[in-house]
Amino acid sequence: MSVPPGQPQAGQVPQAEVRQHNLSVVLRRVHTAGAASRSELTRATGVNRSTTAALVAALARAGLVREEIPRTHRSAGRPSPMVLPVPERAQVIALEVGVERIRAERVGLGGEVLADRTLLPPDDGPATFEETVDRLAGLVESLGEPAAAGDEQGVGIGIAVPGLVRRADGLVRFAPNLEWTDQPLAAALTGRLAGPWSRVPVAVGNDADLGALGEHARGAARGYDDFVYISANVGVGGGLFCGGVPVRGHRGYAGEIGHMVVNPSGRTCRCGARGCWETEIGTDVVIGAAGLEVPPDHSLTCVVEAAEAGDERAVRALDDAARWLAVGLGNLAVVLSPRLVIFGGGLQDIYEATFDRIERYGATTGLARSRAASTHRRSALAHRAPLVGAAELAFAPLLDDPLGALRAAASQ
């Protein structure tokens, strides 16, 4: 049977899809890694040099990249131009909703932070969902808009939330530390916004998942395809990568390792279970065990400093946290055998202050070979990891289909 003109043969990929894929590879490379030569982009795409030149030219015409001759050039001959992202051309808003604060950034292509804001909780207690949406909208408006005269374009909003999130529509199914259940965060924020940012897609993700995404794109997990990101603040969350892609599970709720039961006779968790990991290593738990007042930022610095000064309660609190951290790490090593484990949030303080104790307790948990196969590392992005991941989530449609996403954004 003959194939109609313009239709691909069976088993062939349409040329338009091939071109879109190659444009995506080129833009993603300069977005996450910065300036690249055409030779580097040719190796990244696997196409010939003339095709790479055409891809770069298409992205340059769209205003997404530019070419620049390096100012310093040590070898003989004409220097090769470098391809760089144009931050102002495509911009996103990244938001992180936490118990202790709300963070916001306007981020340009390539990861450049163009503006940032932070809001602390209200003085009269935790904000309701509706109040939080109003505060988020105010932050977005305060960050400013892309300049239409400069051909700048807003392409998305990404939000990191400490809870279970239905990615398809941005519904927060359960966020116990915020006291939210089935809250339509994406739709609510879209309805509250005005101006250009009201016309861009809003994506919502779990904060630890997005922390892992941020570390993979720009932090400690660059070059690693199999890793676990663990972060402790008021609660404990985890983000998993396997084979270079996030692991989200059947309904998208994988990675809630803070609710892995490690102590069946332990405290009751806000989720309703008993002995969850976060009831043993959550920052507020450790601070309370040390007999100290929880600071506004929920940081464990006060406990570490008290322990270093010889405070016995602080020493015991850190020792208990190290023991329970080792138990959970042993479980993760046996089940997942990650190549890398990254500690974020308050866990950075616990890990650095009690490394020797964690290793000692860890020798009695899990399989020794599973533990030995993992490298442990603190977050390279520190407390910004979820915010960086939220920006990457918002950039995803543009990176997947650069020209198509720009056309869609311009038509809104």
pLDDT in tens, 12-54: 668 889 999 999 999 999 999 999 999 999 998 899 999 999 9
Are 90-209+386-411 and 221-379 the same fold in CATH? yes
* pLDDT, tens only, 176-217: 889 999 999 999 999 999 989 999 999 999 999 999 999 999
* Mean pLDDT of the chain, nearest integer: 90
The pLDDT of residue 168 is above 50: yes
In CATH terms, the superfamily for domain 221-379 is ATPase, nucleotide binding domain (3.30.420.40)
pLDDT (mean) for 50-62: 95
**Which of these CATH numbers, 1.10.490.10, 3.40.605.10, 1.10.10.10, 3.10.20.30, describes 15-69+79-85?**
1.10.10.10
What ranges do the domains of the chain cover?
Answer: 15-69+79-85, 90-209+386-411, 221-379
Higher pLDDT, 61 or 16: 61
Q: What is the 3-state secondary structure (H, E, C) of the chain?
A: CCCCCCCCCCCCCCHHHHHHHHHHHHHHHHHHHCCEEHHHHHHHHCCCHHHHHHHHHHHHHCCCEEEECCCCCCCCCCCCCEEEECCCCEEEEEEEECCCCEEEEEEECCCEEEEEEEECCCCCCCCCHHHHHHHHHHHHHHCCCCCHHHCCEEEEEEEEECCEEECCCCEEEEECCCCEEEEEHHHHHHHHCCCHHHHCCEEEEEHHHHHHHHHHHHCCCCCCCCEEEEEECCCEEEEEEECCEECCCCCCCCCCHHHCECCCCCCECCCCCECECHHHHCHHHHHHHCCCCCCCCCCCHHHHHHHHCCCHHHHHHHHHHHHHHHHHHHHHHHHHCCCEEEEEECHHHHHHHHHHHHHHHHCCCCCHHHHHCCEEEECCCHHHHHHHHHHHHHHHHHHHCHHHHHHHHHHC
Yes or no: domain 90-209+386-411 corresponds to CATH 3.30.950.10: no
